[in-house]
Amino acid sequence: MKNIAVFASGRGSNFSSIVQAARIGAIKARISLMISDNPDAPVLKKARSASIKTALVERKDFPNKEKFEAAIIQLLQKEKIDLIVLAGFMRVLSPGFVRKYKNRILNIHPSLLPSFKGAHGIKDAYSYGVKITGVTVHFVDEKIDHGPIILQAAVEIDKNDTLESLEEKIHKLEHKLYPSAIQLYCASKLRVEGNKVMIRA
């Protein structure tokens, strides 16, 4: 069974959906570790109450990004982590880190990439006035919100939607899509060919 580490900085609703999916066997892997960089993140409490091992690694405790990431790598190696799942992790991993874990880091982004990259994907799509937005799960490469796309799903923005109702729709979809993508990885059903991800039936 593969060992998964989730990296999260905030609320942790995706983290909870992943833990739940593992619990019911929809993800056949161990959620071995949750790493956060934010001491105030609600996800820390969620992990503790789900009895998942947690580690708080704060950037301010290290002289540079390299040492910060070296501390993270040490934790990953100790827990024999196979897959890193970014779930609202608000730090950009260095090219060196990404290369070390090439095709072993997943991210979820709340828009249909390559549209609306960045920290406000839902709001930016809403403000732009697009009629369709959605959710993307992708492998992480050296660019931000970029890398081979595993799964995408669309959400319609209708005339009655507010930003809040759209956020709700997006998060609901995220909580289904991310566990599905993670399980595809864990079942070795994904093959990366250049910028494309082939999914075996």
40/144 Cα distance (integer angstroms)? 24
Closer CB to ligand GRF, residue 66 or residue 164?
164
Query: In angstroms, what is the minimal distance from the CB of 109 to ligand GRF?
Result: 5
Closer CB to ligand GRF, residue 67 or residue 114?
114
Token readout for 153 is 């799903």
Q: Which residues 6+ apart lie within 8 Å of 18 measured at CB?
A: 4, 6, 27, 31, 85, 87, 178, 179, 182
Give residues in contact with ligand GRF (CB under 6 A).
Answer: 8, 10-15, 87-88, 108-110, 174
3-state SS, residue 126: helix
**Catalytic residue status for 120:** no
Closer CB to ligand GRF, residue 110 or residue 147?
110
Token readout for 119 is 């920290």
Q: What is the pairing mode between strands 105-109 and 132-139?
A: antiparallel
Phi, psi values for residue 168, rounded to 5° = -60, -45
Instruction: Name the residues annotated as catalytic.
Output: 109
